[in-house]
Amino acid sequence: MTMRIDAVWDGIEAIVLDAVGTLIEPFPAVADVYAAAARRQGVELDRELVRNRFVQSFRDDEFEENLEALVTDEPTELSRWKRIVTSVLPNLPEPDRAFEELWDHFGRPDSWRCFADVGPALTALSATGMPIAIASNFDSRLRPVLAGLPALAALGPRLVISSEVGYRKPHPAFYQAVCDCLGQVPEALLMIGDDPENDVLGACRAGLRGVWLDRRGRGDRQDVLGVNHLAALVSLRGA
Ligand SMILES: [Mg+2]
């Protein structure tokens, strides 16, 4: 990595942000929501067990996905979430009911919240006049979710969603769709996200500049540029 973090805005004309883990997070937490769905069917599950199963199952699914072509659409995303729900909550009396409840839950804006630094950062970045897009591997449920969160709805964000594009991050075709959406060449785009592979290395391979939003301060990746919060990135712009 030759670029210094203080040069990260040089030549940048537009901003691209990941959604989940970067701008928004589930609230209440995923483990509590899944455990509540099981409880409604009389199944009591330990929260930590549910949490660990979810993390593992989401990671396994994504790992297998990355060995494939990263091709997707809405039915593919629906199947992915069915697999994940089934592996986190096996042996429920009514598995389809649990899936439908969880699918609906995470498609509603009141099931999500913005991270505290998002509102101020977006206000400052909007004031620069640079166009801002949101680029996500979530499915089309992201549209109503973002529309219902005032800090994001006010932005009128351009949305690039993998299930609509046909390719998931980190596929180059996904990033090409991001460039097309913003009408910019890849070199003019700064991609910011919490996933070093999908959001940063994938973006860089497609010719964009990528910055890792290391919200938990892990600091364990030497191969990517990182910041711990959005304000740090905004202040580098002098915005
Ligand atoms: Mg993310």
Q: Is the pLDDT of residue 211 over 80?
A: yes
Same domain, 85 and 194: no
How far apart (Å, rounded) are the C-alpha atoms in residues 163 and 216?
28
Q: How confident is the model at residue 67 (pLDDT cuts 50, 70, 90)?
A: low
Distance from the alpha carbon of residue 22 to the mean position of ligand 1, in angstroms: 6
Cα-to-centroid distance, 42 and ligand 1 (Å): 33
Å from CA of 211 to ligand 1 middle: 12
CA of 193 to the centre of ligand 1 (A): 6
Ligand 1 being an ion, which residues bring their Cβ within 5 A of it? 18, 20-21, 194-195
> Does 91 share its domain with 191?
no
What does the pLDDT look like over 100-152, one tens digit per residue?
A: 999 999 999 999 999 999 999 999 999 999 999 999 999 999 999 999 999 99
Same domain, 43 and 156: no
| pLDDT tens for each residue of 176-201 | 999 999 999 999 999 999 999 999 99
pTM over 0.75: yes
Residue where one domain finishes, among candidates 54, 83, 109: 109
Same domain? 180 vs 87:
no
CATH number for the domain spanning 102: value is 1.10.150
Query: Count of domains in the chain?
Result: 2
Q: Which residues contact 24 (CB under 8 A, 6 or more apart)?
A: 112, 113, 114, 115, 118, 145, 146, 149, 152
Residue 26 phi/psi, 5° resolution? -65, 135
94 CA from centroid of ligand 1 (Å): 30
| Mean pLDDT across the chain | 94
Measured CA angle at 206 (ends 203, 210), to 5 deg: 25
Buried b (16+ CB within 10 A) or exposed e, 198-210: bbbbbbbebebbb
pLDDT the model gives residue 48 = 97
Residue 212 CB contacts under 8 Å (≥ 6 apart), including other chains: 193, 194, 196, 199, 200, 221, 224, 225, 226, 227
CA of 18 to the centre of ligand 1 (A): 6
Burial class (CB in 10 A: 0-12, 13-18, 19+), 182: buried
User: What pLDDT is attached to residue 239?
Assistant: 54
Q: How far is the CA of 138 from the centre of ligand 1 (A)?
A: 9
Tell me, yes or no, whether 93 and 148 share the same domain.
no
Q: Which residue segment(s) compose the domain that 81 sits in?
A: 28-109
Whether residue 10 is found in the same domain as residue 74 = no
71 beta partners: 167
Which of 74, 94, 109 finishes a domain? 109
Domain boundary among 109, 134, 169: 109
